[in-house]
Amino acid sequence: MARTMNPPAVQPPTEYETISVKTLTPHIGAEVRGVDLSEPLSPAQVADIRRAWADWQVLVFRDQQLDREQHKAFGRHFGTLHVHPMNHFRDGDPEILVVKTTADSPYTAGEAWHTDVSCEAIPPMGSMLYITETPEVGGGDTLYADMYLAYELLSEPMKRFLTGLTAIHDGGMPYVGNYKSTPPEGGYPRTEHPVVARHPDTGRPLLYVNSGFTTRIEGLTKAESRAVLDMLFDHIATNPRLWCRVNWEPGTLTFWDNRCTQHHAVWDYWPHSRYGERVSVVGDEALQPY
């Protein structure tokens, strides 16, 4: 397959003091070894995980045995825990999002390329999904796509065109349109974000529109907006060069950066079941344009 001449988004190798990493691809995804997330983490361990997260965007921790409090304690090292807007009508711990699919499920959560809850003004910057049941026949992987590289691989004229534009992200589209949930009073959040944003930690430009939530590019006609969004969604959904793939085992926790990645849960295991719980951490600030 022909490759474009854009520079590869390969990270310089970083030395970590307390962990080792085994990368999944040259640009996104790494398995982290040498840390037990059920134990209190030292400042050096937290600093290493933060650096590895900035370097690799998606971190996979294998063979973890966590209860809910330990899962949440891991999340709190990185920020305030997020309450998902769909949890408003559910019983249970509001800081835990249950991700459960059975033969009777009308849908599986996250089965479209998206970044979590981007309809909020300050969306969760990171999510930690802990899977405890996987389909015994295999399947149920999650794909992650690198939004730094998605931006880099656009042509220079397209980058210039998109930079400075904003887009609407509407929670009603997935939560009512797809999941048929009853909205809270006042409706699900709807907000505007830059189409090309600057990552607050790394300073790098990233593409910030996703097919799960983004409904409209401001300032374009309806037809222009649809055409540009469809082109960008196809760029992400049809370009395996952007992706890494996480194959779950019971006891795997994956911690991803929602600002510079998107993910897609693959529902290829019906009528089998899969179960996990997700904790997310809120960002410090709204994403700024690049």
Q: What is the binding site for ligand SIN (CB under 6 A)?
A: 99, 109-110, 116, 127, 129, 142, 263, 265, 278
By beta-carbon proximity to ligand SIN, the closer residue of 130 and 148 is 130
The CB-of-57 to ligand SIN minimum distance in angstroms stands at 15
- Element housing 217 (H / E): strand 214-217
By beta-carbon proximity to ligand SIN, the closer residue of 142 and 214 is 142
Please say whether the beta carbons of 137 and 277 come within 8 A.
Answer: no
How far, in whole angstroms, is CA 19 from its chain's centroid? 23
Q: What residue number has its CB nearest to ligand SIN? A: 110
The CB-of-68 to ligand SIN minimum distance in angstroms stands at 17
By beta-carbon proximity to ligand SIN, the closer residue of 193 and 263 is 263
- Element housing 157 (H / E): helix 156-162
How far, in whole angstroms, is CA 162 from its chain's centroid? 21
By beta-carbon proximity to ligand SIN, the closer residue of 248 and 290 is 248
How many residues can be counted in the chain? Answer: 290
State the greatest distance between any 2 C-alpha atoms of the chain, in Å, as a whole number.
53
The CB-of-52 to ligand SIN minimum distance in angstroms stands at 20
Per-residue tokens: 56: 């690799």
The CB-of-278 to ligand SIN minimum distance in angstroms stands at 5
By beta-carbon proximity to ligand SIN, the closer residue of 36 and 133 is 133
The CB-of-263 to ligand SIN minimum distance in angstroms stands at 6
User: How far apart are the C-alpha atoms of 43 and 52, rounded to whole Å?
Assistant: 14
Say if residue 121 is exposed, middle or buried (CB neighbours under 10 Å; 0-12, 13-18, 19+).
middle
User: How far apart are the C-alpha atoms of 202 and 205, rounded to whole Å?
Assistant: 9
Per-residue tokens: 211: 């097919």
Q: Which residue in 152, 209, 201 sits closest to 9, CA to CA?
A: 152
Task: Give the strands of the sheet with 190-194, arranged side by side.
Answer: 190-194, 166-170, 214-217
The catalytic site residues sit at 114, 116, 263, 278
The CB-of-237 to ligand SIN minimum distance in angstroms stands at 15
Per-residue tokens: 279: 């904790």
By beta-carbon proximity to ligand SIN, the closer residue of 101 and 225 is 101
User: How far apart are the C-alpha atoms of 198 and 17, rounded to whole Å?
Assistant: 28
Q: Tokens 């835990």 map to which residue?
A: 96
User: How far apart are the C-alpha atoms of 53 and 209, rounded to whole Å?
Assistant: 21
